Amino acid sequence: MFEIKDLHVNISEVEKKIISGINLKINPGEVHAIMGPNGSGKSTLSYTLSGKEGYEIEKGDIELDGESILDDEPDERAAKGIFLAFQYPIEIPGVGNLSFIRTALNSQRKFNGKDELNPAEFLKILREKADFLNVDMEMLKRPLNVGFSGGEKKRNEILQMALLEPRFCILDETDSGLDVDAMKQVSKGVNFLRSENRSFLIITHYQRLLNYIKPDFVHIMAKGKIIKTGGPELALEVENQGYTHLLN
């Protein structure tokens, strides 16, 4: 179980409070969606959960199975099963996509006391998942995210998620900038990964993604707070009426 308790976060660089008291409980198997206007702190929340430097936790706690992960470095959190699909996946020149994913997978396996996969074993698993997600070998040989189209970058995030098999997946606006076909592919990947012991936090701007990925709960976030929680119907309400009526 993943739990956020009365979380308050400042961005150190600008000494600005961005998150002002968020509570959220996510049980295994659940899919939670967070919607909210630009600048409400959704990405800040995702970075804070994954442990990025520069996000100062003023108050509150983040717990995985009842244990605080605040002292864990980002790589430790990742190995414990927290995965963030980035809103803007980062390009790393000269680092092959495939080598990168293998390094990541083996680092996590090592952390969890499992044997590292040799290239052949890795390639077999990779092929399977890449096929399913329509990622071709050519894309895997290119440098990580360099020159990838928006859709390729997002599919590559989902591919990494499929290989790393995290327990808690955060998707930060994975749908933005995607056409309908690309969005369907991404959703197919996510739905395939849904299982009773894996949970999702899906940050999105638009309701349409939630037509493909059915959430159990929808939260509306504004000015660093969750201002309303409901079921899928809440997303439709936002779609039809916008946020303004909720903000007052």
Partner 1 sequence: MSELKLEAKQGIDQQTINSVKSLGESYKYGFTTDIDMEYAPKGLSEEIVKLISKKNDEPDWMLNWRLEAYKRWVKMDEPNWPMLNYKGIDYNDQYYYAKPKSLEKKPKSLDEVEPALLETYAKLGIPLKEQEFLAGVIGAENNMDTKPKKVAVDAVFDSVSVGTTFKDELEKLGIIFCSISEAIKLYPDLVKKYIGTVVPRTDNYFATLNSAVFSDGSFVYIPEGVKCPMELSTYFRINAENTGQFERTLIIADKKSYVSYLEGCTAPMRDTHQLHAAVVELVVLDEASIKYSTVQNWYPGDENGKGGIYNFVTKRADCRGVNSKVMWTQIETGSAVTWKYPSCILRGDNSQGEFYSVAIANNYQQADTGTKMIHLGKGTRSRIVSKGISAGKAQNTYRGLVNIHPKAANSRNFTQCDSLLIGNKCGAHTVPYIENKNNSSRTEHEATTSKIDDDQLFYCLQRGINEEDAVALIINGFCKEVLQALPMEFALEAQKLVAISLEGSVG
Ligand X SMILES: Nc1ncnc2c1ncn2[C@@H]1O[C@H](COP(=O)(O)OP(=O)(O)O)[C@@H](O)[C@H]1O
Binding positions for Mg ion, rule: CB under 5 A: 42-43
CA distance 138 to 224: 41
- Binding residues among 119-148 for partner 1 as defined by CB under 8 A: 119, 122-123, 141, 143
152 and 110 Cβ atoms separated by less than 8 Å? no
Coil, strand, or helix at residue 154? helix
Nearer to ligand X, 39 or 231 (CB): 39
The binder of 218, among partner 1, ligand X, Mg ion, none, by C-beta within 5 to 8 A per type, is none
Sign of the Cα pseudo-torsion (154, 155, 158, 163, in order): negative
Residue recorded with tokens 């919607």: 35
Nearer to ligand X, 38 or 197 (CB): 38
Nearer to Mg ion, 43 or 156 (CB): 43
Q: Is residue 113 at the binding interface for partner 1, with CB under 8 A as the rule?
A: no
Answer for which of 5, 17, 37, 99 binds partner 1 (CB under 8 A) is: 99
Residue recorded with tokens 């990580």: 144
Q: How far is the CB of 38 from ligand X (least distance, A)?
A: 4
Binding span for partner 1 by CB under 8 A among 20-28, 97-105, 176-184, 195-203: 97-105
Closest listed residue to residue 30, CA positions, set 240, 211, 201: 201
The binder of 236, among Mg ion, ligand X, partner 1, none, by C-beta within 5 to 8 A per type, is none
- Burial letters 6-20, b for 16+ CB under 10 A, else e: ebbbbbeeeeeebbb
- Binding residues among 33-92 for ligand X as defined by CB under 6 A: 36, 38-44
CA distance 209 to 171: 12
Q: Is residue 98 at the binding interface for partner 1, with CB under 8 A as the rule?
A: yes
Integer CA distances (angstroms), 165 to 6, 39, 46, 56, 181, in order = 28, 30, 18, 28, 24
Binding span for partner 1 by CB under 8 A among 45-53, 194-202, 213-221, 231-239: 45-53
Q: Degrees (nearest 5) of the Cα angle 44, 220, 67?
A: 55
Q: Is residue 92 at the binding interface for partner 1, with CB under 8 A as the rule?
A: yes
Binding span for ligand X by CB under 6 A among 11-19, 23-31, 140-148, 162-170: 11-19
Nearer to partner 1, 79 or 235 (CB): 79
CA distance 247 to 234: 14
CA distance 165 to 179: 26
Q: How far is the CB of 36 from ligand X (least distance, A)?
A: 6
Binding span for partner 1 by CB under 8 A among 86-94, 147-155, 171-179, 223-231: 86-94
Contact residues for ligand X (CB under 6 A)? 11, 13-14, 16, 18, 36, 38-44
